[in-house]
């Protein structure tokens, strides 16, 4: 019997606080670009009776379950099966040009982690799938069984920040020549053998970085995010807000850079006044990345690695 996924939304009170000025007291539209099981969406809809929510997710199973959870909010909810860089098309199809808020809760969802058949967790033996949309694209097994040693090294190094990327890639290629990879237990066993014992003692589980890298490659997560953040900022009205929860440094770096670029003035240095049309487009609402407090981490371990950033749109594009 399939285990029912649990869902504890991370930093939900802080997210409600950040969106309050943009959503309170008037009809508003918010895009939850990574709907998952709908925990953040439910809280936002409950807090703002005039809010319309557009929920995006690439996982049809997550959309079905969140649809059940959010059904009590009636026609204030619009669910769209799409990857989050499809945000502009999703809004266009609904006749929307500007929104009051956009939320991203990045990374793997509770449903994907907690259902063994999805293959995201290295703690139990399961098929090497890792697709966030299980109906499309390459699986993690396809990557392991078809990529060259050089390509695997790139994936593990760039997306997993794995020190032993080349060593692991060579071991994978040698092992698949005897038998293709199909399940996670065999890969985990290989990683225990390939990662030196000294690193295993100090660097956490030896499969963590490889599984992250495979998941990012299978779902093109960083490429999608590089497109999605600018698209979301473009969709915000003046006064609208964007909040992003990232769970690993590669994602957080992309978000940080995108926000910082739009928070800068482009007036040449040394001029005494801001040139018209050269001021910042956004105001940063967080000082660096905010972390979860120890109390929340104790209650919800998935909050351990969250990095939250937020910004408010203060000027239209010229």
281 appears as a binding residue in the annotation? no
Give the DSSP H or E segment for 102: strand 99-105
Nearest one of 118, 114, 307, 137 to 220, comparing CA atoms: 137
105 appears as a binding residue in the annotation? yes
Alpha-carbon span 44 to 40, nearest angstrom: 6
36 appears as a binding residue in the annotation? no
Sheet of 99-105, strands arranged across: 77-81, 51-57, 28-32, 99-105, 236-246, 307-313, 282-284
122 appears as a binding residue in the annotation? no
40 appears as a binding residue in the annotation? yes
Which tokens in the block code for residue 211?
Answer: 């599984």
38 appears as a binding residue in the annotation? yes
Which residue pairs from 181-185 have beta carbons closer than 8 angstroms and sit at least 24 positions apart in sequence? 181/128, 181/141, 181/144, 181/145, 182/127, 182/128, 182/141, 183/125, 183/126, 183/127, 183/128, 184/119, 184/121, 184/122, 184/124, 184/125, 184/126, 184/127, 184/128, 184/211, 185/125
Q: What's the count of helices (H) and strands (E) in the chain, helices before strands?
A: 14, 7
Binding positions for S-adenosyl-L-methionine: 38-40, 57, 84, 105, 112
Binding positions: 38-40, 57, 84, 105, 112
């Amino acid at each position: 019997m399939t285990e029912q996924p649990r869902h504890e939304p991370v930093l939900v009170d802080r997210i409600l606080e950040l969106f309050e000025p943009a959503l309170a007291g008037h009809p508003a539209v918010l895009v939850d670009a990574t709907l998952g099981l709908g925990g953040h969406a439910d809280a936002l809809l409950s807090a703002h009776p005039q809010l319309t929510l557009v929920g995006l997710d690439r996982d049809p199973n997550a959309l079905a379950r969140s649809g059940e959870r959010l059904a009590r909010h009636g026609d204030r909810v619009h669910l769209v099966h799409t990857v989050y860089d499809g945000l502009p098309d999703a809004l266009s199809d609904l006749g929307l040009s500007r929104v009051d808020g956009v939320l991203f809760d990045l990374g793997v969802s509770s449903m994907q982690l907690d259902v063994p058949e999805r293959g995201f967790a290295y703690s139990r033996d399961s098929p090497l799938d890792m697709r966030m949309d299980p109906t499309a694209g390459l699986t993690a097994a396809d990557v392991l069984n078809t990529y060259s040693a050089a390509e695997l090294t790139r994936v593990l190094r760039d997306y997993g920040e794995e020190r032993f990327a080349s060593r692991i890639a060579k071991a994978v290629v040698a092992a698949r020549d005897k038998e293709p990879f199909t399940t996670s237990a065999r890969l985990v066993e290989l990683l225990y053998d390939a990662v030196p014992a000294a690193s295993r003692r100090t660097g956490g589980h030896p499969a963590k970085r490889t599984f992250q890298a495979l998941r990012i490659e299978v779902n093109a997560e960083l490429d999608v995010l590089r497109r999605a953040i600018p698209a979301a900022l473009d969709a915000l009205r003046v006064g609208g807000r964007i909040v992003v929860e990232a769970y690993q440094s590669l994602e957080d770096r992309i978000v940080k850079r995108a926000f910082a670029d739009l928070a800068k003035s482009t007036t040449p240095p040394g001029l005494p006044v801001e040139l018209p049309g050269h001021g910042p487009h956004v105001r940063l609402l967080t000082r660096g990345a905010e972390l979860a407090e120890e109390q929340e981490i104790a209650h919800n371990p998935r909050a351990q690695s969250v990095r939250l950033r937020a910004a408010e749109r203060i000027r239209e594009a010229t």
